[in-house]
Amino acid sequence: FFEREMAARTPLLNGLVLAGGRSQRMGRDKSQLNWHGKPQREHVADLLRPFCEDVLVSCRPEQAADLSAAYPALPDTFVDLGPYGAILSAFRAQPDRAWLVVACDLPLLDAATLDFLVKERQPKHLATAFVSPRDQMPEPLIAIWEPKSYPELLAFLGQGYSCPRKVLLNTDSHCVAAPNPAALSNANTPEDLQQLGLG
């Protein structure tokens, strides 16, 4: 009975692919790099689909027309705030949903890693996030943000902060170690791609 009640009260989970970055360090649009037979933003969206009610691709307003209709766009309404603005824009669009937020620059991310995160989800916390294997800090861009985090994100923004990691560090978030730390490797530069064997 209690498990059924908890499931009924758990906010539905949406997916958000972060694809609105300017990719200045990479020198080309990371979201369109093809590591898995399709643009990376589409690959990540497809990874998210089995775990989410809806999957949206976060982008800058001028990018929306370039996205396939099969991958619905969510243009930023909080502009010039990077990933922080993307997360806020998602909550503005659907504030009653939780959001599984994933950056598009994770070429080694797999379904097993996402499955682990979803199973570790604790909706009583503000968010559920992986611990970075590099610095043992929470990874805000492969994390589940609960609806209760929306007012907290707005409050931090009102104080002049727009770093999602800072929010996780200073609120009640649930952090877990990734079963496969390599899956959290991101590629921001051509050198990163070479180190991952993708260059």
Residue 106 or residue 5, greater confidence: 106
Report pLDDT digits (tens) over 105-154.
898 999 999 999 999 999 999 999 999 988 999 999 999 999 999 999 99
Report pLDDT digits (tens) over 69-83.
899 999 999 989 999
Among candidates 144, 106, 123, 114, which has minimal Cα distance to 50? Answer: 114
- Burial status of residue 81 (CB atoms within 10 A of its CB: 0-12, 13-18, 19 or more): middle
Instruction: Please name every residue paired with 74 in a beta bridge, in sequence order, or none if there are none.
Output: 58
- pTM: predicted TM-score of the whole model, two decimal places: 0.89
- How many CB atoms sit inside 10 A of residue 56's CB? 24
